[in-house]
Amino acid sequence: MRRRDAAGLNEHTVSQTDITREHLIETYRKKAKHYDITSRLYPVPGYPQRTQRLRAVQALGLRKGDTVIDMACGTGLNFPLLQQAVGPGGRIVGVDLTDAMLARAQDRIEANSWINVSLVQADAAGFDFPAEVDAILSTYALTQVPECAGVIAHGAAALCGGGRWVVLDLKVPGSTPEWLTQLGTAIVRPFASVDEWIMRRPWEAIRAAMQEELSDLSWAELFFGTAFLAAGSRGPGKTGGDQ
Ligand SMILES: C[S@@+](CC[C@H](N)C(=O)[O-])C[C@H]1O[C@@H](n2cnc3c(N)ncnc32)[C@H](O)[C@@H]1O
């Protein structure tokens, strides 16, 4: 697609990926203010999101003083759990595409007087991971990133030997009839093209990439197959920055 700039002077090409990304940012800008409340109803009221987050953070195997990246961190709902695990001597880096979500995350940091949390506004697909990080987490976000397999690979290359990559996200249960899948995801994923998400089956790409890039991959289906928790380590002897 070709578009004119704001002044109407120059035309430039806008890819479908750019349009999808702009739509996603716009959607999360609208959600940001009330996200901490509304996300408790995500994907449906009563969903055991808190329990799943706890499991994901436990799977990171963090120690005091570790550095952890929270990829697509949103408003920083994982930060309290990560803080508990790494302590004041550790470091948390939150990365997200949407300015308004990061603004809420910044409010959380200031409200808690945390001085060991930094935020980066970036697309996960192009994020330049710092070398030698101890762990990377992504919750309820990575399946929204079309280049999710590449993000797994880049992150794995940045981990220190033994460092952990953990992904928690939603998926379509294996044995669900197609019509129910369409209905369910239409309800829980109003922000994106539901059909595209179902067709793309990003959880499979994430699983394959983690299998490829990490050792000892574990894969657990949660809550009747509506979510997955995937975790793996960078093999020993490898150093951050290896490709
Ligand atoms: C459902 S929210 C999850 C936020 C947080 N991880 C949580 O568990 O509450 C999805 C987040 O992913 C972010 N996001 C989506 N695509 C992204 C991308 N390509 N790069 C970075 N962040 C992205 C959105 O801005 C949004 O904050």
Q: Which of 28, 70, 142, 170 to mutate to test the pocket of ligand 1 (most atoms within 8 A of CB)?
A: 28
pLDDT average per 10 residues of sequence, the chain (243 residues) = 57 74 93 93 87 98 98 98 98 98 98 98 97 96 95 98 97 75 58 74 97 97 95 74 43
CA–centroid distance, 22 to ligand 1, in Å, is 13
Cα–Cα distance between 70 and 92 in angstroms, integer?
7
How many other CB atoms sit within 10 Å of the CB of residue 196?
A: 13
How many other CB atoms sit within 10 Å of the CB of residue 52?
A: 21
The pairing of beta strand 227-233 with beta strand 215-222: antiparallel
Of residues 83, 85, 140, 141, the one with CA closest to residue 117: 83
Ligand 1 binding site (Cβ under 6 Å of any ligand atom) = 24, 28, 39, 72-74, 77, 96-98, 101, 123-125, 139-141, 144-145
Report angle CA 96, 99, 100 to the nearest 5 degrees: 110
Give the distance, in angstroms, between the CA of residue 186 and the centroid of all CA atoms in the same chain.
Answer: 20
pLDDT score, position 171? 94
Predicted TM-score (pTM) of this structure: 0.90
